[in-house]
Every structure is written in C-alpha cells, then in structure tokens.
Amino acid sequence: MAGENEDVKNKAVKEDVEDGASRNNETPQEVPSETELSLEERFASMEKEYLYLRAELENVKRQNFKERSQLLKYGAERLARDLLETLDVFRTAFLSEISADNFQDFVKGVEMTSQSLKNTLEKHGIIEMECVGQPFDPNTQEALSSEPSDQYPEGYVTQVFKAPYKYHDKLLRPGQVIVSRPKSE
C-alpha cells in the first residue's frame, strides 16, 4: 500500500510539472536533483584541485632540478674557500728567501701548512687512512712490492707511497704500499 501511495504521488508531481510546462508553452525540462548537482560540483572542485596539484608538482620538479644543478656546480665551494687559505700560506712560504739560518723554520712552516691542509680536508670528510703496521687490505690498498721485515709480520704494510683516503664512508683513492714478507734464509 505504501508503494501505491508513492506511485500516486510521483504521478501527480509529474502531471503538475507537465501542466506547468504546457501552460507556459514550454517543454518539460529535467531539473537536476541535489545529489546530481553536488556530484557535478564535487567533480569540478576535484578537477580544479587536481590541476592545481599537478602544476604544483611540476614546480617542485623544476625547483629540484635547479637545486641539483646548483649543487653539482657549486657543491665544492666551501672546500675550495678553505683550501684557498692553505694556498695563501704556501704562496707566502715560497716568496720568502731560504737561507741556512732560517731553513729549520721553513721546514717547520711547511709541516704546519701540511697539517693545516690535512685538517681542512678532514673538516670536509676527506680522511687519510692509516696503514703502516696494519694488515694489507686489497680493498683499500695496492701492493707495489714486498720486502723482508723483522719489524712487521708477513702480510703487513711496511711503507706507503700514496696514502689511501676516504670521503666519508667511500674510498676516494686506494693507497700504494709495500707489504712485508718473511726473510729468506
């Protein structure tokens, strides 16, 4: 019975709409329901938000590319600035006149400048790896030759030609070393 009442109401509403349209000499038009209207509005809003977010993503991509390019181009700027201080000290040392009287002071100055350079490199994550008296490590060292040694056991580094260096956790340059071997009788 409830279903019949709703059918009668729907039929009456439809007739009223048709009567109103015929009175105005108009054809009946479909009026969007509230749910249809809200769906269209929601779709338009979501489309607008999607376009905004897409544009924002493109801006972020462009900015990241620009930042990476700048980092590659100018990433070593702090290191270069710090190294210039050491270079200035070397330049001053080479301009000074060396004599027998000041030779020891000159050598001391060069040693201090070398230590300053090492400190600058360490400040930027470049660290010299100690290897004399350590077991030979083929991952960080190249053995140029071997020599008999009483001081170190077999397979230990006795001399270093070029020290190995790390940049943070990465091997920057392998060392070139001489490795001990037993004395032949």
Tens digits of residue pLDDT in 127-169: 999 999 999 999 999 999 999 988 899 999 999 999 999 999 9
Looking at residue 113, its amino acid is T
Looking at residue 125, its amino acid is G
Counting the structural domains of the chain, the total is 2
pTM above 0.75, yes or no: no
Question: Are residues 131 and 79 part of one domain?
Answer: no
Quick check: is 49 in a domain?
Answer: no
> How confident is residue 64, by pLDDT bands cut at 50, 70 and 90?
very high
- With contact defined as beta carbons under 8 Å apart, do 150 and 183 qualify? yes
What range does the domain containing 116 cover?
73-124
Quick check: is 52 in a domain?
Answer: no
Quick check: is 106 in a domain?
Answer: yes
**124-139 as b/e, with b when 16 or more CB fall inside 10 Å?**
eebebbebeeeebeee
Question: Are residues 118 and 84 part of one domain?
Answer: yes
> How confident is residue 12, by pLDDT bands cut at 50, 70 and 90?
low
**What CATH number is given to the structural domain containing 158?**
2.30.22.10
Question: Are residues 102 and 136 part of one domain?
Answer: no
Residue at which a domain ends, from 86, 108, 124: 124
- With contact defined as beta carbons under 8 Å apart, do 139 and 105 qualify? no
Q: CA 158 to CA 172: how far, in whole Å? A: 22
Characterize the bridge pairing of strands 175-181 and 141-148: parallel
pLDDT of residue 175: 94
Chain centroid offset of residue 41 CA: 43
Helix residue spans in 75-170 (DSSP H): 77-95, 103-123
